[in-house]
Amino acid sequence: MGNKSSRPQASAAAAPMTPSPSGATPTVQSPADAVAQGQVQKAFANDHGDWDSVFESLSSHHYVQEKYGQMLEDLTDAERKVLQARTLVPLQAAAFAKKPASLLAKRSGVLNGYRDFAEKKNIPWRTDAAQLEQRGVAVWEAERAAKKRKLVMPPYYEACYNGPIHSYNSGNGEWMAAFDAPSAYLLVHLHHYPELSAQAAFDALHEELDRQALEVLAETSPARFVRVLDVGCGVGTSTFSTARSLEQLGRIGSIIGVDLSDYFITVAEHLKQVRSGEFDGTVSIDFMHGDGLDLAPCGFADGTLEMVTVSEVTHEMPKKVSEQLFREVARVLAPGGVLAYLDINQAQVLKDSSPGAIAERIATSNEPYFDQFLELDIAAAMRAAGLEVVKDTWPNHKKYATLESSSLRIMVARKNAALSLDTWMGRWALDRRENWLPWLQCLGVPESAHEAATKAPDFHQYRVTEDGFYMDHQIPGQTLHLRFSSFIDGTWHESPYKKPTTTQFDEEQKEKIAENVTEWKHQWVAFPTCFESTTKEFPFPGKTLVLRRELIGLDTMKYSVQVTSEDGSLAAENCIAYYKKTSTEPPVSVAVELKERFATGLSRSLEWRQEALSKILALAEENMDAISAAQAEDHVSPSAFMGAIMMMKSAVAFYKANLASWVAAQAKDETLPPFLRTEGDWEVVPEPKGVGLVVAPWNAPVLLCLLPLMGMVAAGNLCVLKPSETAKATSRLIAKLITKYFPGREVLVAEGGPEVVVELINTPVDHILFTGGGSIAKKILALAAKHITPVSLELGGKNPCFVDASDAENLALYVAEIVGTKSYFGGQFCQAHDYCLVHEKVFDQFLELLEEKINALGPRRSCQMINAGHAQRIKAMLAGHEKIARPPLPEGEAEDEVPVTVLVCPDLNSELMKEEVFGPLLPIVRVASAAEAIEFVKGRPKPLVTYCYSQDEAAWAAFRDATSSGNLSINAGPQRMQSNLNVGFGGVGDSGFGYSIWGRAAFDDYSHHKAVFTGKKFAGSAWGAAPPPGKGGGKGKETEDAAKK
């Protein structure tokens, strides 16, 4: 909006109490209250005339009394001062018009006064502004042209842009004001935190504002991700401080600064680059030239933001414009979103500033609409826009005892929130139970236990999604504590409740009612506020329990119980419990839960590991058809899971046969010379790292969850699986099956998008496996680095395949392998041949065989991609290469299909040859020799697999010794590379690192190999308890005697 970053703001000395415009309870100011002295107030404080008597004389005139007497009598003190100032404004403006030089001198004097004072406060205003100016006008103008958008300026702002404002003759439409702005804004807030540096004081102010706003936001939207808009950001000083405070408060997301001055926005964009090293990247920062009164052209739709900051903007606006701004803020805020508002404290200014000083600020165009701001009822304007004022306060309560003693005012307003899925999030405690007796009687609880059962404290924690929920349930009186995840999809699955909780209050009932495996299902009654749980054969055989949870307010949940008999009669109905939300804090993350469980030591035993491996195999074998169907629904190629199960059987058998020897301590020989040795034994003990996180891809969504999981549990770790959100049906099936096969919750599933991964890594976990692309891998590494969490990366890459001069029979085999792999997986396979380097002697023959093989595919030439978006990515690579496509491209391909296609000698600088294809395209390049092929491979990032198809042993040796890749396959296809459990499989360089897939290598990757030395006698160090050999001395008689010997 306006140039809020360029001008020093008003502050004032302590003054008597004026009622807060928001209606806040008045606070009488103590004489000991701190005095706020701001630079604007100082600059315009030279008028101490007795304006009350002047105005009294004017208003007492009989004509004025006749026309306006009653109105004048009804004025409040504040209204009277504004009217006095307005009366004087035309006089002051006329005086300046008569002597324009005095006005220019006034502005210049004010501005230079600010600069001089800044230098005294160690703010290098002139130096910093000069450094910006030194970049040159041509550079700045080019950057301004790039940032400037075509806007229709609001009339109020056009005068501020092309005319004077804030002591600048050309207002917000000049470079001088923009270059001065960073220092100016630091100066005006320094007095609020005098013990801090200028930048720290400014940051502290905004952290206080943001903390207040985020506390309110957390009540209705506890998610860590937040989208923030900074309206009237100026040169970005407030935007940067808000980004920093969001990072410090543990939030992630984005902040966009919007301002009407293209000069200021250009400087903000430059400062973003200069200051990039100050931020950790969890909150992205952007700037946009735009109008805060009309945010739709900037891309801000209704209800799309969690937070909007309006910092020191409204005092530059006419009253009607401020009211319009609040309406626009309310439009873009999501339900429950918050407005963080900071501006001059009207009450303090009105108490401490003379009418002449206020009039001069207006007449000089320092703040041309200041009188309208002083009469703006901010809280009423927010409420009229549909916002609820939640907080009305001020910064630095240690310095300022009351609102009226501070020159700034902080307000937080919230857009009324509809009940949503987020409303469930948090902790709930029993408030009361009504009509609970029928439920107790249905259970046969004796009357003597009714009161205890009715009043027993009961605590719930929820995290609810559209199709599932997590619950943490505690009843301290029964020492009951359950954690479970379930699915709101109408399907039956095992219930974690083995007997009714209420029966635990009766000792006889505890023994009488045996634990029973029951099934339940959940479905929405009214999304997203009410869902129903139906449990069969519960609480007794022949009974059905229906439990309904319903949100009836932001902090109130109604819990209804009904029991139906087989004949349809009601054994209990209308039994109600009410729960109150006690906190919006989400339940512990699954990683924290697993850490608690790991600490018990249950996964260290060989027996637990063997049993866990059996469960994983059973999960796959017993649900092969369901897995295949889910993968088909998600367009996974291939969808059939039978081949994967065969691989898993071999892996489990291998683990079980070898695990006992792997987990045993390994004795190690001593390497010290005999004369330096002390008696003792060395061993290396493999121990589990703790809680692993497996982030799986969409191209093999089940297999690349379960294979790494085998290595994790074999090493004694507990594990969180994060299936790909792209393969939704498969992700949900994995979540259900893990819940079923690991009821003890040693393995858990976290569904969702990138925000889930961020939360889990920040828990933190103890080892991360990520399978996917390099760009996401870099983000995961950056997050993991904050916690020094070890990571394994399985990334793929552009896997080259050298095809040497060979006979027709072998060429046909190579072609069959390459085309078959491309077709079977649609190229969506980390080991797929990405491109071929073909010896020139057989290039034409090889191309002819490729075309024949592809044509023979018939309809199978068209490969369905995982989704239309991925297909579009492949087609974008193909664009421009149609003339070199073999066979020619078919017409009428479906949106999500791409044909198996050879691309003959494409441009080596094209995206096709720089990016991993991960699709059914096959570029082929002509080479003169194996040596040329090797140089080609060496000149590119290291791939996951290099294929060498040749009958020449010299070529084999050359590829083995001269190229670097995760794996080298000589005369073999991808399947052979997956067949030896004694050999680890992993990448190098850009294709990843670590051995995440199977076998001893995976066990070692997921274990910590602890070196242990056990001394038969104490083995001291040369600088400690043992002397160097032959030197004597040392500490103690024993070491002295040893030296003599």
Distance between CA atoms of residues 171 and 178, nearest Å: 10
Could you say which of 575, 830, 863, 948 is catalytic? 830
Using a 10 angstrom Cβ sphere, with 0-12 exposed, 13-18 middle and 19 or more buried, the burial of residue 206 is buried
Please report where in the chains the tokens 């090889």 appear, as a residue. 846
H or E, element range at 904: strand 901-904
801 is catalytic: no
Q: Which helix (H) or strand (E) holds 640?
A: none
| Cα–Cα distances in angstroms (integers) from residue 736 to residues 108, 368, 373, 467, 469, in the given order | 72, 64, 59, 12, 12
Separation of alpha carbons 243 and 229, rounded Å: 11
| Cα 571 from Cα 564, distance rounded (Å) | 6
Q: N- to C-terminal Cα distance for the chain?
A: 87
Strands 791-794 and 252-259: unpaired
Buried b / exposed e over 161-189, threshold 16 CB at 10 Å, is beebbbbbbebbbbbebbbbbbbbbbbbb
Locate 633 and state its tokens.
């629904």
Q: Verify whether residue 746 is a known catalytic residue.
A: no
CA gap 702, 641 in Å, rounded:
9
DSSP conformational letter for 458: -
CA-to-CA separations, 224 to 219, 442, 537, 682, 756, in angstroms, rounded? 12, 44, 41, 47, 10
Q: What is the CA radius of gyration of the chain?
A: 37
| Gap between the Cα atoms of 455 and 475, Å rounded | 11
Phi, psi values for residue 160, rounded to 5°: -75, -25
| 230: its two tokens | 């900074």
Alpha helices (H) along 664-790: 703-714, 728-741, 754-761, 774-787
Amino acid at 915: E
Which pair of tokens denotes residue 1012? 């242990």
Token pair, residue 628, equals 């295949």
Which tokens hold the place of 102? 């005095």
User: Hey, what long-range contacts does 1028-1031 have (CB within 8 A, 24 or more apart)?
Assistant: 1029/675, 1029/676
HSE-CB of 570 using CA atoms within 13 angstroms:
9
Q: Is the peptide bond before 31 cis (omega within 30 degrees of 0)?
A: no
Phi, psi of 37 (to 5 degrees): -120, 105
DSSP 8-state code for residue 292: T
Q: Go through the chain and tell me how many residues it has.
A: 1045
CB of 589 closer than 8 Å to CB of 223: no
Choose the catalytic residue: 208, 794, 817, 897: 794
Distance CA 631, CA 727 (A): 8
User: Cα–Cα–Cα angle for 398, 402, 406, nearest 5°?
Assistant: 80
The secondary structure element, H or E, covering residue 191 is none
Residue among 759, 747, 609, 744 at smallest CA distance from 688: 609
Residues whose CB falls within 8 Å of the CB of residue 672, separated by 6 or more in sequence, listed in order: none
Q: Which two tokens stand for residue 699?
A: 């191209």
Q: How many CA atoms lie within 13 A of 32 on its CB side?
A: 2
The β-bridge partners of 279 are: none
Strand segments (E) across 426-529: 426-434, 459-465, 468-475, 480-487, 493-494, 519-526
**Positions marked catalytic:** 794, 830
